């Protein structure tokens, strides 16, 4: 990925982070960030389960990033795969974007700062396929549209909602709990 793209992602992320923090600081409910984070992490987890990826655990407990900084939550996906895939890279990108998309269903808008690490990962992955900035942007838009389309289904939305509610109550849940909510929603809405 060319350096100007990386710099623009970082600049957008910093500006969005400042705007997001100001917005959330002005909200009356003290748990708005916690709920947004719960929807974000639930989006990753439910999408991973839907694509056949095993989830180890999901948490909204704050923690440290490996190379400095903090994270608001974590969806830990186990190594290995339950079912084969047609395109591993697309699956990885869709799982990374699912957090921001699910959070936007709760907040009403995308929050690129809250998904900063996810978007950097998307950029690294898509940079291996795109030969130009134009191709990169087109591929990124296509993958975001694909993620939106997948998460538009009533069953996945309900699975994300149930997972997020459980995260708010318990802070950390197992992948088994996410699978349970996913299967319940699929039975109820399909």
Q: What is the CATH number of the domain that holds 136?
A: 1.20.58.760
What band does 73 get if pLDDT is binned at 50, 70 and 90? confident
6-24 residue pLDDT tens: 444 443 444 444 554 555 4
Containing domain of residue 30, as a range?
3-189
DSSP 8-state code for residue 152:
T
34-72 residue pLDDT tens: 999 999 999 999 999 999 999 999 999 887 766 667 778
C-beta separation of 90 from 143 below 8 A: yes
The pLDDT of residue 74: 87
CA geometry: angle 11, 116, 62, nearest 5 deg: 130
Is 44 strand, coil or helix?
helix
Which is more confidently placed, 112 or 41?
Answer: 41
Nearest CA to 46 among 166, 187, 158?
158
The pLDDT of residue 11: 39
Output the pTM of the full model: 0.80
Beta bridge partners of 64: 70
Report how far residue 79's alpha carbon sits from residue 59's, in angstroms, rounded to the nearest whole number.
18
Please state the domain count of the chain. Answer: 1
Share of the chain above pLDDT 90, in %: 61
Residue 174 host element (H or E): strand 172-174
Instruction: Please return the burial class of 107, using the count of CB atoms within 10 Å of its CB with bins 0-12, 13-18 and 19+.
Output: middle
Q: Which residues are within 8 A (CB) of 73 and not within 5 positions of it... i.e. 6 or more apart?
A: 37, 38, 40, 41, 58, 59, 60, 61, 62, 167
What band does 134 get if pLDDT is binned at 50, 70 and 90? very high
Mean pLDDT of 126-130: 90
Is 53 strand, coil or helix?
coil
Q: Give phi and psi for 113, each to the nearest 5.
A: -70, -40
Tokens standing for 3?
Answer: 């350096």
Mean pLDDT of 64-93: 79
């Amino acid at each position: 990925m060319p350096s100007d793209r990386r710099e623009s992602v970082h600049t957008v992320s910093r500006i969005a982070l400042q705007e997001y923090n100001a917005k959330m600081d002005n909200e009356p409910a003290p748990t708005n960030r916690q709920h947004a984070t719960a929807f974000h992490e639930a989006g990753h987890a439910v999408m991973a389960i839907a694509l056949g990826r095993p989830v180890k655990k999901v948490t909204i407990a704050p923690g440290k990033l490996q190379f400095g900084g903090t994270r608001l939550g974590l969806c830990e996906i186990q190594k290995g795969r339950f079912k084969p895939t047609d395109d591993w890279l697309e699956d990885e990108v869709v799982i990374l974007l699912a957090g921001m998309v699910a959070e936007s269903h709760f907040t009403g808008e995308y929050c690129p700062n809250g998904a900063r690490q996810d978007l950097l990962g998307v950029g690294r992955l898509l940079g291996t396929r795109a030969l130009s900035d134009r191709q990169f942007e087109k591929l990124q838009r296509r993958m975001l549209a694909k993620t939106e389309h997948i998460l538009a289904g009533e069953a996945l939305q309900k699975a994300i909602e149930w997972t997020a509610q459980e995260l708010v109550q318990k802070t950390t849940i197992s992948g088994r709990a996410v699978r349970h909510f996913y299967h319940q929603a699929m039975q109820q809405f399909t």
